[in-house]
Structure 1
């Protein structure tokens, strides 16, 4: 967690600003994160910054579609948003300050991004959160 502290600090700062506009924070030990629910900005869903998750809804335990399904690459069963975001927390913990630059170089918020595909894979199977894993 220390390795990704700069990212977490950015998430805590963004979360604190969100609290001034109605967000509320909860610690989710299973996700190794502080979650800011009802975060008032963004198109919907969640954004992970280190060990912080900024979430526009009420509960991370909701179902959502995968990036592949959203891009029209076929039907897939829905995944749980909390599981997807937990994979990003693990990715941040492994890569620390390298995560954001690598994430952006790999395509940002896109089905082409191996970080997003890995988070979807982990949410669907409980395995394979590492972006360059085959499982």
Structure 2
């Protein structure tokens, strides 16, 4: 029941993702339903610097497999030597965040710094990808050393 409510609550974001994904289909993207991630993934999405972008229950991924490894935001920013994570796990955390925050997600995400190591949403997604817990952006112990 909560899953259905989350999907409905974030539907406006999902519609944006579906529109972007549909445009990508015309340029070679492929859609694949990933129930574990509660998302429709558009793989080989033809635009962007690489990686993935989540919009509601849609993930736009420039690669061929969301199960690929990647570095955490902190590692890329030189804030320490962290082990790699799986991109699917990181993006699943964003799906969960969207399902709780719905239309509030994007404004809050941008207020927290956008695509940046400083963004608590990204730190939480990395934490979840490393440990399988802590996807909520305001969880204690976000790994930033700040409270």
TM-score (norm 1): 0.99
2:23 to 12, 17, 31: 17
Q: What is the distance in 2 between the residues matched to 1:63 and 1:11?
A: 23
**Shift of residue 14 of structure 1?**
0.2
**Shift of residue 68 of structure 1?**
0.1
2:3 match: none
Please state if 1:83 is matched with 2:89: yes
Give unmatched runs, 5+ long, in structure 2. 1-6, 142-147
1:32 match: 38
1:103 match: 109
Please report the RMSD computed on the Cα atoms of aligned residues, expressed in angstroms: 0.5
**Shift of residue 134 of structure 1?**
1.6
TM-score (norm 2): 0.91
DSSP 3-state at the match of 2:8: coil
Please state if 1:124 is matched with 2:130: yes
Per-residue displacement from partner, 1:24-59 (whole Å, max 9, x unpaired)? 000000000000000000000000000000000000
* Deviation >3 Å, runs of 4+: none
Give unmatched runs, 5+ long, in structure 1. none
1:42 match: 48
Q: What is the distance in 2 between the residues matched to 1:38 and 1:45?
A: 10
2:73 match: 67
